[in-house]
Every structure is written in C-alpha cells, then in structure tokens.
Structure 1
Amino acid sequence: MPNTSNYKLNAAIANSKYTDLLPYKDGSTTNEFLQRIVDILLDFVKATNDRKEKILDFHHPEEMQNLLDLKVPEKGVTLQQLVNDCATTLKYQVKTGHPHFFNQLSCGLDLVSMAGEWLTATANTNMFTYEIAPVFILMETVVMTHMREIIGCNWKNGDSILAPGGSISNLYAFLAARHKMFPNYKEKGIATIQGQLVMFTSDQSHYSVKSCASVCGLGTDNCLMVPSDVNGRMIPSELEKLIVERKAKGHIPFFVCCTSGTTVLGSFDPINEIADICETYGLWLHVDAAWGGGLLLSKKYRHPRLSGVERAHSVTWNPHKLQGALLQCSTIHFKENGLLLSCNSMSADYLFMQDKLYDIQYDTGDKVIQCGRHNDIFKLWLQWRAKGDEGFEKHMDRLMELSEYMVKRIKEQPDKFYLIMEPEMVNVSFWYIPTRLRKMPHTSAREAELGKICPILKARMMESGTLMVGYQPDDRRPNFFRNIISSAAVKESDVDFLLAEMDRLGHNL
C-alpha cells in the first residue's frame, strides 16, 4: 500500500479547506480532492488482491495510538491532510478481501457490490418512504420477492425487509411470532399473556436468539437451549421433550429457532423434523439461515441442508456472508404478508401520511422498529444483476468445492493437521499439530495441548501479517481453528499456502 506522499494535491489547493469544496465553491477543487480519494481506494483494492501484500500491518493498540493522529481539532484541517488521513486509515486497515484472509464469515471484496456501495453513499438516501427513495424502494421489492420465491413457491406473496444485521433480523422474527400469537400485546403489553412465554433454540445457535429473550422481556432462562448432536445439529427428540416439560408447567411455548449454518461448525439443524414438531404443538418456526442461506441458490448443495425451509414462518438470510455482498446486507422474510406492518406500525402521521399522491404500500418505514434505514439494497441488486442466479450458484458451488479441497489436503497431512469433523459447509474445523506433539496419541490431554497452540499461532499469523484464520473453543473441545472460505478470490493454491504457512509459523511451538 503506497504511503501518503503518493496522493499529493495540486499545490494551489493543498492548503484549501472544506469550504473550498462544493457546495461552498465551484467544482474544480472538488474534482481533484475526490480524484485523490478514488486513487487511494483503487490502490487499496489492488493491494487487497495482491498475494505479495500483507493482510495487515499489526500494531498493539498503544503503538497504533502513537502512529495515528486521531484527535478532533478545534479548527478544521486542510484538504491535503484529509487525503493523508484517508491513506493512513487504509494503510493500517485489515484487508478482509485478501485471498489469505479466512478469519470471518464475511470475507472477500466483491467489486460490483463495492461499486453499489459507493453509489449508495453518494445518493445518501433514507429508505423509509417511496417519496425520497423511489428507485431503491422498488429494487428492494423486486429483490426481496425473488429471495422469497427461492425459499419456496408458497412464499411469493409474503413480506420481507432489510435489517441492520442478522441479530436484528432474528429479533423481527421473534416480535412477529409473539404478535401473531398475542395480537393485543402491542397495545396491552405483558398483561395480555396469562402465563410464561418460552422459546427454544439449539445450544449451537447464534447468541442473538437468546438476546431476543432478554431484550423482549422473557428473560434468558426462558430461552431453552436444545441439545445438539456430535455434529452440532439440534436433536428433535430433545426439542419435543423440552416443549412437553414446559407445557406441563403451564408455560406457553411459542417460538422455535432452527439454525441453518451454525457460526462455529457450520451445521444445519434438520428442518423437516423440527417443522413436524412445531406443527404438532402450534409453534412458530423461524430458520436462522444468516450464514447458510446462500446455499439456497445451489441445486447441488441446497439439499439436504435446507430441505423443509419452505415450511418455516420466517427466515433470516444474510447476503453479506456467503454471497459476498458488502457489509452489511441482512434480510428477514415472512411467509405471511402484513405481519411486519401490523406488529411494528406506529402510524406516525408526520412521516407516513395516508393521503400521498402514490400507493403508500411502498412506504416501508412503518414496518420496522428503527424508522430510518440505511440503503442496503442497491449493492445487492447490482451484484445480482451482474451474476444472475446462475453466477451466484457457481459461486456457492465453488466455495463448497474449495472447502472440500481443504479437507482433502488436511487428510493428506495427518501428522500436521487433525480434522475435527466432516463439514457440512465452508467451516473447516481442525487442529494444527506442532512437531513436538506429532507422535503423541490423540487423547483429551493432547487436545488440551493443541488448544493452547491456537492463540499463540494466531498471534504469529497477525504479527507476520501473512495469514488470518479464526479459532475458538466450543462446549466439547478446547480451542481449535475454524477456517472460512467465502471469498471469490480464493484458489486451491491459497488453501495450500494456508496449510504451509501455519506449519512454517507453528512447527516449533
């Protein structure tokens, strides 16, 4: 990444201030200032896709504070200083689109989606009414309808909205489920419910599901964690057992969250079996496919992972994860139309007037709890225009094939790597084995030692700047590595590099 000296403004305007830009002055200074910013962005894009570049230039927080000038001044700085600030910011930023960044569920830098985000920022439009965002509102309607059709043919006439993250998407599902069972709750509150509401989710589910119980007044003790099997999938018989137990106590079971693509292991709960139980006991079925939803686009990998998803009442699906849309881009879908509006509408007449000159069904702001919404649709719409369903399908298949390749390479090096389980998705969970532990029998004692290796090896990765792979423990194991392949930039050679680089950095631990 070039240093700030590569982005010099013309000497005549370098010491200019923001008041020399539009709308205060004419456009010549504005043009050059923005061109330098674009130069910085394009250089970052190039560096991100250069395998010879480091992923990051790591510094501890105290060191970084000394490298950066972050203070807010009393008087504004020059345009040249603003350009330098932009270049410095990206110089020390992690390149999450780098082919050797395997750290998060959302990896990669899709350039079409990025272009959409640039346009979105320039338009600077709130998404609460058709009046101020006509094109974007129509795009959202078209794309959300298409996503529902992919979930199931009986979903076309449902409803959807883009939310600020999968956690809030799950919250919308919770609120709609409670509203469906107790429509007077919105006005009358908790007194409407004669009994204790309880909800159920897998012990491997995202913490946001449990958070719903906290922020909505159930209490986390009333979010029951259903045991999972050795592969991280919810056990349906355990779910039914817990439902029966709670009903016997006079509690009111109302909501089940089924996870399609768990955060750590990438596991898929058996939707059809869980749907049978929900239908038997009259519970709302929500599928949290924030992570795994992209596989709905793959004929090869959709089944059996997401078989039965069309039986759910609501589905969370985050295109900013497996599909590579830029952060953030999270959707929540409902089979039944009208629930979002009925549940969340406050009918604020200073925003959502009923006597506008157009069809007010396109005013989406009253459907949501946040009122104003960031425009997250254009980058997804533009990306989908570029790829089509076919392109997304190829992308899903390629990511899965690369993960299968990684599993194959790990199995070919059993002295150096231990595969924890056959993955259902792109989450490949494994231990790296340093030289001193390679002849040690694989017992719980060895696993404990391998767990201690993970944070040390991760620190070496970050200090070298050449590789980033995440690690974590779970309820069955100490720390282990969880590799994610969700970037279109990754090739088989990058997987080979990953394994070789872990060995180079960690063999003597």
Structure 2
Amino acid sequence: MRYDTELAPAIVLPRSRPDGRNDPLALFNEQSLDAYRSGMQRCVELVRHTLTRARNPCSGIEPQELQPAFQAIDLDRPLDDLEASLEELQRLYLDHAVYFHHPRYVAHLNCPITLPSILAEAIATPLNTAVETWDQSAGATLIEQKLIDWTAARVGLGEDADGVFTSGGTQSNLMALSIARDSACEAMPGHAGNRHHGLPSNFRQLRILTSEVSHFSVQKAAALLGLGYDAVIAVPSDASKRMDIAALQAALKECDEAGLIPFAIVATAGTTDFGSIDPIPTMAELCRQRGIWLHVDAAYGGGLLLSRRHRHWLAGIEQADSVSIDYHKTFFQPVSCSACLVRDRRQLRHITYHADYLNPRDQAEGGTPDLVNKSLQTTRRFDALKLWMSLRTLGAERLGDHLDQVIELAQQAYRAMRQRDDIEVLLPPALSTLVFRYRPDDVDDDGDLDTLNQQIRQTLSRRGEAVVAGTRVDGRFHLKFTLLNPMTRLAELVALVAEIARIGESLAPSLTSPSARPSPVWSQSSC
C-alpha cells in the first residue's frame, strides 16, 4: 500500500542554514507551529487513508519476509524529506500494523481507545512534559495526583492512600512487591531496613504466594528483587481458576513448618487467560490475621471500578495494601497508562531517594509535590492526561458501560459456542475471555488436537483474517478470544468460530503428515 500524496499538501522540513547552524523549524517551538499543524494534518490523513483501506486486522506477514526491508535501511543517511519518510513508514509499519479496534482482533489485552485520549497525546507530546518534579510539570503533577486520588477512592483504600502512574501492570507489581518486601524486612528484629543495609541475612526465607494462573510478572518481580523465582509459591486454583483457599491455607502451614517467611500474597482480579477473580475477602482476612501484605493485581479487572453492573465482583479490594490498575486495558486508554496504589502513603518511602539537583529533601519537607519521590521511574511521560481527557469528556460511567458491553458479549459468545458439537469451551467467561479449542469427533489424540488448533491459528494469522490468541492449559494447546472491543457484534464472533471450524475441518485429514507439524516461526506468530 502506498500513501496517496494527494491527500494533503506536501510538507518539506527546512534544511540547515547556509551558515551551518540548524534551522529552528527543525525543532518544535512557537516558530514551527504552522509546520506542526500541517504535519499533524498529514499524519491524520495517513492514518485515515490506511484504516479506510484496511479490511483485515493484520497483513499476515512473517518476520523473515519483512526483515529484509529493514536491513536495506541506513539510519546514518536521512531522507531529509517528510514525504519520503511517511511513504517509507507506510511500507514498513502501517501496512503491517495490527489493528486492535478491528472486530476480528480477539487475541490479547489490547483495547480500542477513546478519541479524547488520542487528542490528549497530541497535546502532551509536543510539549514533552516530564512529570517527575513540579518545576517540570506544574499542572500536570496535580492532574496525575487528582487521578490517583480518584482511583484510590473508587477502590476504597481510605484517606491515607496514594500512588503513582506506571508503565503497566508489570512495573506496578514490581513496585508493590518491592514495597512489601522492604516493609517486611524493616519489621524484622535487628534489621534497620533494606535501603541502606541491603537484604537481611535470612532473605532466602522470604516467600510470595500467588495463584498458579496469576501473571508471570510476579515471578519476574521476585527475580528482580533478589529473591528468585523459587521465592514464589504457586497456589493451586479451583475449577473456576480462582485461588483455592484451602490450598492457600495449606501452603501457609507448610511455610510455617519449613521456617519460611510469607511476606506477600497476591490476589489476581482478572487472570490473563480466564479473567478469573480470586476470593479477595477471604484472602484479605488471612493476611490480616498473619500480618501479611495483600497485593491485588487488578491490571485486567480494574475497569470494574467503573461498572454499574459488575462492581461487586471486586468486593474486598478495598482491604488491599496495594493495587495494580491498567487503564490501558479496561479503561480504554492508549499504552501506556497504568498505576500502582498503596493503602498507606508512608510506605512509599521505601522507593524514595532525594537527589540535590532534582528533588532535594528540604523541597519535599516544604510540601513540593515532586512525583519522582514515589516512583520507580525518574523521567516519565504525562500519561495521566489521556485518562483525564477521557473522564472529563466522556465520563466514568460511559467507560464502565464499554466494559459491561464486552462482558455481555463474552457471555453471549460462550452460549453460542456451547451450541456447537465441534467447539470445546473450557469455562464460562469470568470477565471477557474465552478459552476453547476446535475438537471434531474424529480426532481424539491430545497431541493431534494441539497441532490442529495451532494450525488453525496460524492459518487465520497468515491470511490476515483474524488475530486469535493461543495458550496452554494443563499442557494442552487452546485458542483464546480476548474481547475488549465494545463495537464487536455477536454475529462477527459466530462467523469467526464458523471459520475456525471450516479451517479445522480442512486441516484434520492431514494430521498424520509430517508437514502438518507447526513450523518454528509460525508457532510463535501472533499475526
């Protein structure tokens, strides 16, 4: 696909002046506003042109097919022309981008995004606001703080709660578990705290308990915190993929008997594969009895805070010590837009460091709200503006209604898929995901079923017809719909399931052929 150069007037950025000095119009300032406006119009036309021509959610191109186009590019030889850059970008990126707003994109936790949030990016990016300190951000600091306070109030954490925006659930979970670890170590007899003295001598006894189907970022956090993967105890889940409380109690007892120190329990409010929500109230009571930190990973399910129909599914989250929220999932915001919240703002001291040139201690003591004082990151984008614009323009209830719509869609799709004899759905949807596989009557071998469903996914992807996720449950390969698009209709999903069955029917007879086994590249391809 080529970019239609008739869509907007051509734009050529000024080159260097004859005296060799850079032309100020090459950088953004008040003198370049006309070029900024024209350039933005050009980019808007480029996106419009691309999306109106796109019929599928992706092109189906494979890495080895696109890679040669990049190998031919010499980044030390600029094009010196915006038109040429846009045409190149069209070939390299836009022609092969994955469109999350497409009704047949049903793979991962990627959402279509609100228009006000896109406009917020158009405002924040040219100003390049960095929100680490007040003297770099002013009103942006207060916008972020207002949204943190609003979210904490929605969760019900109380007046002492606080938090900060993050890059995503992985960073939020790392931050929360870092605070939980340091809080636990600080309370140990004879230990003055981790910030100055490092981990205590018995740090190898520290344990984090989480569901066996929780997010992998818990293990990553344990490794980054110096505890290792082995510090994470995977607690079995029940038939609904929620943490099994009896198994949790047994795991705690085993910790006691082995002299281990469980310092944090992670409850998941919306597991990635199943959308399942752990029994938070019971887990909170166990944590309270034993003085264990309760972290709720609500990266997926956090949007229920805005739901008028399903808010009660998050019952107990108000008892958490910390919470992860991904606004770029079920709040329909662009990546990245997330937050980590804590019940007691004093706990944020565990990640505070005062640098004289940036956020000196006397500045904090004087009340200057430097957000870097409570963030793992230093330089951060003004991501809060996206959510602010969405709330101020559309309102929280409309965002909540979008989530309610996809929850209802998942329930409708589940009922429709259950009516087919050749589709096996593992569980009713807890939020908006469906894990299933094509299972015809004449294929009984689990290995053959794995291969068949992998090939179905590959075929859809290669054709660019749909982007469907794949996962393994108890070692067996399954397909997965992740529904986050309120504009998707049931008829479109029913048609996609029918196409999955047609592809499966055509592939089933060739299962005994060696060529039927998935290739290494295709088996990893998501589009």
From 136, 160, 176, the equivalent of 1:132 is 136
Confirm or deny that 1:94 pairs with 2:98: yes
Q: Give the match for residue 85 of structure 2.
A: 82
What is the CA-CA distance between 1:110 and the residue it aligns to?
2.6
Partners of 1:131 and 1:382 lie apart in 2 by 23
C-alpha offsets along residues 50-104 of structure 1, whole Å, 9 cap, x if unaligned?
xxx1211122222212345543133553222112123322122111221210111
- Native 8 Å contact 2:235 2:243 kept in 1: yes
CA drift of 1:130 comes to: 1.7
SS at match of 1:370: coil
- Is the counterpart of residue 176 in structure 1 residue 176 in structure 2? no
**2:501 alignment partner in structure 1:** 503
Instruction: Name which of structure 1's ranges 13-22 and 285-294 shifts more when overlaid on structure 2.
Output: 13-22
Instruction: Provide, for residues 88-131 of structure 1, a one-character-per-residue CA deviation record: whole Å limited to 9, x for no partner.
Output: 22122111221210111123233222222222222211110122
Could you tell me which residue of structure 2 aligns to residue 244 of structure 1? 253
- SS of the residue aligned with 2:271? coil
Q: Residue 35 of structure 1: which of 41, 45, 53 is its match?
A: 41
Q: Aligned partners of 1:75 and 1:133: how far apart in 2?
A: 33
Aligned to 1:325: 333
Paired residue for 2:510?
none
| Structure 2 counterparts to residues 350-365 of structure 1, below 5 A | 350-353=357-360, 360-365=367-372
Identity percentage of aligned residues: 27
Question: Are the structure 2 counterparts of residues 356 and 220 from structure 1 closer, same or farther at C-alpha, using a change threshold of 3 Å?
Answer: closer
> How far is the alpha carbon of 1:328 from its aligned partner?
1.3
- Is the CA contact 1:105–1:321 (under 8 Å) kept in the aligned structure 2? yes
How far 1:279 sits from its partner (Å)?
A: 1.4
Paired residue type of 1:91: D
Between stretches 104-113 and 315-324, larger displacement belongs to 104-113
Corresponding residue for residue 400 of structure 1: 407
- Give the structure 1 partner of residue 116 of structure 2: 112
TM-score under structure 2 normalisation?
0.87
Contact 1:109 1:487 in 2 (8 A): no
1:368 has 2:368 as partner: no
Give matches, 1:6-45, under 5 Å.
6=5, 17=15, 22-23=25-26, 31-45=37-51
The residue type equivalent to 1:420 in the other structure is: L
Q: CA deviation at 1:401?
A: 0.6
CA distance in 1, matches of 2:37, 2:310: 48
Q: CA deviation at 1:34?
A: 3.8
1:324·1:487 contact (CA, 8 Å) conserved in 2?
no
Q: Does 1:425 align with 2:431?
A: yes
SS at match of 1:488: coil
Q: 2:516 — aligned with what?
A: none
- Mapped to 1, the partners of 2:364 and 2:478 lie a distance apart of 59
Q: Does 1:310 align with 2:318?
A: yes
Deviations 1:378-409 (A, max 9, x none): 11111122331211221121111101110111
Alpha-carbon distance in 2 for matches of 1:356, 1:333: 23
Q: Distance in 2 between matches of 1:182 and 1:100?
A: 48
TM-score, normalised relative to structure 1: 0.90
Question: Residue 477 of structure 2 aligns to which amino acid in structure 1?
Answer: N
Q: Deviations over 1:336-355 (max 9, x none)?
A: 11221x11111101001356
| Structure 2 CA distance for aligned equivalents of residues 446 and 323 of structure 1 | 41
Aligned residue pairs total 491
Q: Offset at 1:42?
A: 2.9
Cα–Cα, structure 1 residues 357 and 409, in superposed 2: closer, same or farther, change >3 Å? closer
Q: Quote the residue 2:167 is aligned against.
A: 164
Matched, 1:455 2:454: yes
3-state SS of paired residue (2:391): helix
Letter in 2 for 1:506: G
Q: Which amino acid aligns with 2:161?
A: G
Task: Give how far 1:178 is off.
Answer: 2.0
The answer to whether 1:64 aligns with 2:66 is yes
In structure 2, the residue matched to 1:411 is: 418
* Residue 212 (structure 2) aligns with: 203
Q: 1:147 to 1:47 in 2, by over 3 A?
A: farther
Residues 8 and 80 of structure 1 are in contact (CA less than 8 Å); yes or no, is this contact kept in structure 2? Answer: no
Q: Distance in 2 between matches of 1:26 and 1:316?
A: 40
Partner in structure 2 of residue 384 of structure 1: 391
Instruction: Look up the equivalent residue of 2:208 and give its one-letter code.
Output: M
Structure 1: any 5+ residue segments left out of the alignment? none
Q: Residue 464 of structure 1 corresponds to which residue in structure 2?
A: 463
Query: After alignment, is 168-177 or 107-116 more displaced?
Result: 107-116
SS of equivalent to 2:327? coil
Alignment of 1:262-277 (within 5 A): 262-277=271-286
Closer/same/farther in 2, CA of residues 507 and 313 from structure 1, 3 Å limit: same
Give the 3 Å change call, closer, same or farther, for CA 408–177 of structure 1 in structure 2.
Answer: same
Distance 1:30 1:174 in 2: 43
Counterpart of 1:73, as a letter, is D
Higher deviation after alignment, 76-85 or 169-178: 76-85
Partner of 1:148: 152
The aligned amino acid for 2:301 is G
* 1:27 to 1:200, Cα distance in 2 relative to 1, 3 A: closer
Structure 1 stretch displaced more, 353-362 or 92-101 = 353-362
Question: Over residues 247-292 of structure 1, what are the superposed CA-to-partner deviations in whole Å (9 max), with x where a residue is unaligned?
Answer: 2222222111111111111111111111121112110000111111
Deviation at 1:21, TM superposition (A): 7.2
The answer to whether the 8 A contact 2:185-2:199 is kept is: no
Conserved in 2, the CA contact under 8 Å of 1:176 and 1:339? yes
Give the letter for the 1:98 counterpart: H
Pick closer, same or farther for the CA change 1:157–1:361 going to 2, 3 Å: farther
After superposition, the Cα gap between the structure-2 partners of 1:47 and 1:268, relative to the gap in structure 1 and judged at 3 Å, is farther
Deviation at 1:138, TM superposition (A): 1.1
Shift of 1:145: 0.9
CA distance in 2, matches of 1:289, 1:223: 19
Contact 1:260-1:306 within 8 A present in 2 as well: yes
Residue 55 (structure 1) aligns with: 57
Q: Is contact 1:163-1:330 (8 Å) kept?
A: yes
Kept in 2, the 8 Å contact 1:417–1:431? The answer is yes
Could you say if the C-alpha distance between residues 71 and 224 of structure 1 is closer, same or farther in structure 2, counting changes exceeding 3 Å?
same
